[in-house]
Amino acid sequence: MSTLPQKSQLVVIGAGPGGYSAAFRAAELGLEVTLIDPEINPGGVCLYRGCIPSKALLHVAKLVTEAEESAAIGVTFGNPQLDIDKIRAWKNGVIETLTGGLGGKATKLKLSYVRGTARFKDQQTLVVTTSAGEESELAFEQAILATGSRPVMLPGVETGKRIIDSSGALELEDVPKTLLVVGGGYIGLELGSAYAALGSKVSVVEMTSGLLPGCDRDLVSVLKRRLDKKFEQMLLNTKVAELKVQKNGVTVTFETQKGESSSKRFDKVLIAIGRRPNHENLGLENTAVKVSDKGFVEVDGQQRTAVPHIFAIGDLAGEPMLAHKAYAEAHVAAAVAAGRKAVFDPRAIPAVVFTDPEIAWCGLTETAAREQKLKVKTAKLPWRSNGRTLTLGRDDGITKLIVDAENDRLLGVGLAGPGAGELIAEAVLALEMAATGEDLRSSIHPHPTLSETIFEAAQMLFKA
């Protein structure tokens, strides 16, 4: 950690994927940078309490599941022996390695990394409270706000030993015998899958009619078919009316859309009903920075807020709340702050749900194409026709391409299947390069790989 300077050319508040990327890039571009965050090293929610620890747990889940399922192809292991303390230590080690590496990079780039929090006194001055409790003023020329988001809670509910949010679930304190996940979105399904593989009986309650709102239903069906076997119960169109914490668990009262009510006891309840941006506690009222009704800081294409020398990026600056969107916005804000020309104007921001199977999509969804009454052609290839899928002992998965019916331009790609999250990168590049269906079918894909499903789906777009 550095000592707090009295003035700074650029201050970045928040050191998650958005904040640390912006700070590093700005330092590389020659700005003198101060990066402020309460944690000992940069990393933010993504590294400490989000993407990385959840992927570590999902890796454990993959090992357990593959070992269980391999009996079907003639390889039998004994029951897995799970040493939760060792798994937790390994996961924490991954986090320490990555965050430590970012701390080292901050030092190498000679930026001032200050442990603490900051709030605006006025549009040119911040009041910084360091983790040691010291308060001092910091004058700045430009600032980038990257304070991220936090889990939404059910009204009147507080987290504790029995009711947890994603951060609590990722601490892996224990593996509850029964776990209710409230919310069938990214976090609920990823963490629900991890705990199910670790041995919990997992139930999911989702208030809408389907899982993963915003994702095409045919992709979701591939996942749901498998989750129906892995999870105890999947309650759709159902809300949680009451949570009663008791000595031996939490009694949950459900209420269906039809008004029917029922109760059940769970050892733990994980609330994963969305995230909200951290715009409070920044002293934005002392600036002319505008905040939308949903709590996002309003920005233009250069990530500038209503105050041109104050930028906002990442979850704080709007949906989708994804680390890779934050990285991209960070590079724009840093470049603009350093006097370069840059704009945030992506054709595709990929979304990946790291369940088993994974779901990934980018560009236009088929649902959106229909809603917008666009003239599109779609090709949908089931993975059971792909050799590599079968050699993995799987037969689930689909690849879907959506192209403009008039000019064959690729508009969107959807994937469901093991490894879909890696495969989607090709689709992002294709969309950014304005590729056509013809481009995809004339590019030689390696055999035998899952990537051939993109090539084969492209062939389906043509009669000859």
The binding site for ligand NAD (CB under 6 A) comprises: 154, 182-188, 190, 205-208, 213, 239-240, 272-275, 320-322, 352-354
Residue (190 or 396) nearer to ligand NAD, CB: 190
CB of 367 to ligand NAD, least distance (A): 15
Closest distance between ligand NAD and the C-beta of residue 193, in Å? 12
Other beta carbons within 10 Å of 165: 21
Question: Closest approach of Cβ 20 to ligand NAD, in Å?
Answer: 18
Residue among 244, 123, 228, 150 nearest 184 (CA): 228
Alpha-carbon gap, residue 221 to 219, rounded angstroms: 5
For residues 344 and 301, the answer to whether their CB atoms sit within 8 Å is: yes
Q: How many CA atoms lie within 13 A of 209 on its CB side?
A: 2
Minimum CB distance to ligand NAD smaller for 138 or for 420? 420
Distances 339 to 26, 189, 333 between C-alpha atoms, Å: 10, 42, 10
What is the SS3 assignment for 134?
coil
Sheet arrangement for strand 178-182: 163-164, 268-271, 178-182, 201-205, 233-235
Would residue 447 show up in a list of annotated catalytic residues for this protein? Answer: yes
Please identify, using beta-carbon distances, which residue of 270 and 335 lies nearer to ligand NAD.
Answer: 270
Residue 311 near residue 299 (C-beta atoms within 8 A):
yes
3-state per-residue secondary structure call for 81-101:
CCCHHHHHHHHHHHHHHHHHH
Task: Tell me the C-alpha distance between 203 and 196, whole Å.
Answer: 9
Please report how close the Cβ of residue 448 comes to ligand NAD at its closest, in angstroms. 27
Considering the complex, what minimum distance in angstroms separates the CB of residue 183 from ligand NAD?
A: 3
| Bridge partners (DSSP) listed for residue 304 | 311
CA distance 36 to 106: 12
Torsion angle (degrees, nearest 10) of CA 437, 440, 443, 449: -150
Q: Which is nearer to ligand NAD, 180 or 291 (CB)?
A: 180
What minimum distance in Å lies between the beta carbon of 168 and ligand NAD? 13
Residue 225 CB partners (closer than 8 Å, separation 6+): 396
Nearer to ligand NAD, 353 or 413 (CB): 353
How far apart are CB 325 and ligand NAD at their closest, in Å? Answer: 9
State which residue, 183 or 363, has the beta carbon closest to ligand NAD. 183
Provide the token pair at 104. 């080292």
Q: List the structure tokens of 59.
A: 């890796």
Determine the Cα–Cα distance for residues 251 and 262; give it in Å rounded to an integer: 10
Of 26 and 202, the one with the shorter C-beta distance to ligand NAD is 202
> What minimum distance in Å lies between the beta carbon of 100 and ligand NAD?
23
Which among 59, 279, 324, 447 is annotated as catalytic? 447
Burial, 59: exposed, middle or buried (Cβ in 10 Å; 0-12, 13-18, 19+)?
A: middle
Q: How far is CA 442 from CA 228, 307, 447, in A?
A: 38, 48, 14
Smaller CB distance to ligand NAD: residue 65 or 208?
Answer: 208
> What burial letters (b/e) apply to 249-261, b meaning 16+ CB within 10 Å?
bbebebeeeeeee
Nearer to ligand NAD, 114 or 322 (CB): 322
Residue with smallest beta-carbon separation from ligand NAD: 185
Least gap, CB of 152 to ligand NAD (angstroms): 7
Cβ–Cβ under 8 Å, residues 409 and 424: no
Known catalytic residues are 447
